[in-house]
């Protein structure tokens, strides 16, 4: 993020706070990272979760918040980077729809639609893991 912001420093026009500009760069760097991780993945992560080590599914059903969060992070890795981005911004970073739209460069409607689709995909993934 530091290198990317340094290279992009000329594009900062000062219309909004510096922190907002920097955060937008950080979001885009993270999004590109997730996309590269998906391309580099040789084995689908679903097999590592649902395969012989069914322990992860049991952890998801436990009441321990730390274990549940770790499980959710693993499940989020199964989603497309765009879905993961919008869910992370809205729920973990607690951004409003307007803030998420600004950070992603999308419209508010696009954020809402993408969040709805991402929640549906996440629900489907969790149901599949629960069935196994």
The DSSP code sequence of 104-121 is HT--HHHHHHHHHHHHHH
Residue 121 is predicted with a pLDDT of 94
Residues in the chain with pLDDT < 50?
43, 45-55, 60
Per-residue tokens: 72: 């959710």
Residue 100 is predicted with a pLDDT of 92
Q: Where are the alpha helices (DSSP H) in 1-132?
A: 2-7, 18-40, 45-50, 55-61, 65-76, 81-87, 97-104, 108-131
User: In CATH, what number is assigned to the domain containing residue 13?
Assistant: 1.20.140
- The count of structural domains within the chain is 1
Measured CA to CA in angstroms, residue 129 lies from 12, 39, 77, 126 at distances of 45, 23, 14, 5
pTM equals 0.60
Domain hosting residue 112, numbered range: 2-131
Residue 88: DSSP 8-state: I
Residue 107 is predicted with a pLDDT of 94
Residue 55 is predicted with a pLDDT of 46
By three-state DSSP, how is residue 73 classified? helix
């Amino acid at each position: 993020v530091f290198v990317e912001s340094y290279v992009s420093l000329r594009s900062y026009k000062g219309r909004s706070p510096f922190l907002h500009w920097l955060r937008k760069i950080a979001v885009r760097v993270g999004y590109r990272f997730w996309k590269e991780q998906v391309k580099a993945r040789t084995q689908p992560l679903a097999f590592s979760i649902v395969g012989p080590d069914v322990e992860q599914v049991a952890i998801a059903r436990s009441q321990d918040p730390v274990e549940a969060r770790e499980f959710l992070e693993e499940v989020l890795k199964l989603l497309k980077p765009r879905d993961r981005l919008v869910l992370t911004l809205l729920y973990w970073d607690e951004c409003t729809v307007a803030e998420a739209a600004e950070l992603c460069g999308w419209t508010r409607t696009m954020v809402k639609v993408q969040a709805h689709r991402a929640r549906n995909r996440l629900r489907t993934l969790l149901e599949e893991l629960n069935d196994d």
